[in-house]
Amino acid sequence: MMSLKIATCRPLPEPDVDELLLLDALREVGVDARMTPWREDIDSADATPTIIRSTWDYIHHVEEFLRWAEAASARAPLWNPIDVIRRNVHKSYLLDLQLRGIPVTPTILARRGDLQELAEIVAASAWTDVVIKPAVGAGSFETHRLRVDEPRSSAVFSKLCKERDVLIQPYLPSVEGHGERALVWIDGEFTHAVRKSPRFADGAESVSEALPISSTELALGHAALRDIADRLLYARVDVAPGLDGMPVLMELELIEPSLFLLQNPRALQRLAEGIRRRLHSTVQR
């Protein structure tokens, strides 16, 4: 059997429902995969290819995580590749995509240590209902919905900005009805979507069954991945209707996104087969 390391973290901040599904699917296609906490793998000399999955604590150890990923990539193939990981760690990539003409949720980046008040920063935009979150973040970590005119909002923002770069975005009412849609992309195609309910700091995740992807969502997904699609094993493109009703990009998840494999067995099989082909290609070199 071909060998594979699946990078994770221990303890997991929340259960990974994809973990056992993926291990079983890989075993069925001839891949011997083992879960490997990335922080225990930093000094490893093991030249086994690695796929990043549930490394959800990396946001608290960013430089250490990038050093591990660089080392793992130097030893053996790493999926997704290291240059993609570097560019996706900091959510300022949203501003880069916006400059390329991709419809993105309007975003302001406040740098760590910025002393401006939240109301000052958003004054020109006239936003009154906003979401703030770390520019390096995962899940709902320190994600807050704030009314700009509420006294507590300034304190919440200031505290977070002392510690981290922070994204400020308008709250999109569409996430309550239509919902944010996570578009799952595996080995060359979008396979399915799920609807995610709004989730804020320490909140539990609530997702739907597998849903079809609309033509406008699909077009946005392909546009967001256009320059890198042929180099990715997996991706997740999170979108929601903007203020004009057309889809906008919320986040482009290329490092460790949940892929909601439980909702779509075909997507699970496609991921397992994609990994098997890559491992086989590596062995043949």
Residues 164 and 178 reside in one and the same domain: no
- The CA distance from 158 to 40, in Å, is 35
Residue 97 forms part of a structural domain: no
CATH number at residue 250: 3.30.470.20
Helix%, strand%, coil% for the chain, nearest 5: 35, 25, 40
- The CA distance from 276 to 282, in Å, is 10
Q: Work out the burial of residue 54: count CB atoms within 10 Å of its CB; fewer than 13 is exposed, 13-18 middle, 19 or more buried.
A: buried
Residue 100 forms part of a structural domain: no
pLDDT tens for each residue of 197-212: 776 666 667 889 999 9
Domain end: 144, 171, 198, which one? Answer: 171
Encode 210-252 in three state secondary structure: CECCCHHHHHHHHHHHCCCHHHCCEEEEEEEECCCCCEEEEEE
Mean pLDDT of the chain: 94
What pLDDT is attached to residue 1?
81
- Where in the sequence is the domain holding 126, given as residue range(s)? 108-171
Q: Work out the burial of residue 99: count CB atoms within 10 Å of its CB; fewer than 13 is exposed, 13-18 middle, 19 or more buried.
A: exposed
Residue 249 forms part of a structural domain: yes
Residues 247 and 228 reside in one and the same domain: yes
- The CA distance from 46 to 249, in Å, is 38
What pLDDT is attached to residue 202?
62
Bridge partners (DSSP) of residue 165 are none
What pLDDT is attached to residue 141?
87
The encoded tokens of residue 240 equal 């929601």
Give the pLDDT band of residue 79 (cuts 50, 70, 90): very high
Residues 157 and 227 reside in one and the same domain: no
Residues 141 and 205 reside in one and the same domain: no
pLDDT tens for each residue of 21-74: 999 999 999 999 999 999 999 988 899 999 999 999 999 999 999 999 999 999
Residue 210 forms part of a structural domain: yes
Residues 178 and 254 reside in one and the same domain: yes
DSSP-assigned letters across all residues of 144-157: EEEETTSHHHHHHH
Residues 74 and 151 reside in one and the same domain: no
Residues 224 and 239 reside in one and the same domain: yes
CATH number at residue 165: 3.30.1490.20
Please report, rounded to a whole number, the percentage of residues in the chain having pLDDT higher than 70.
97
What is the domain count for the chain? 3
Residues 180 and 247 reside in one and the same domain: yes
Residues 227/230/232/237 CA torsion (nearest 10 deg): 50
Q: What angle do CA 254, 14, 73 make, to 5 degrees?
A: 35
Residue 101 forms part of a structural domain: no
Residues 211 and 180 reside in one and the same domain: yes
Residue 193 forms part of a structural domain: yes
Residues 165 and 178 reside in one and the same domain: no
Residue 250 forms part of a structural domain: yes
pLDDT tens for each residue of 139-173: 788 899 999 999 899 999 999 999 999 999 999 99
What pLDDT is attached to residue 176?
87
Residues 29 and 83 reside in one and the same domain: yes
Residue 37 forms part of a structural domain: yes
- The CA distance from 238 to 184, in Å, is 9
52, 8 in Cβ contact below 8 A? no
Residues 162 and 178 reside in one and the same domain: no
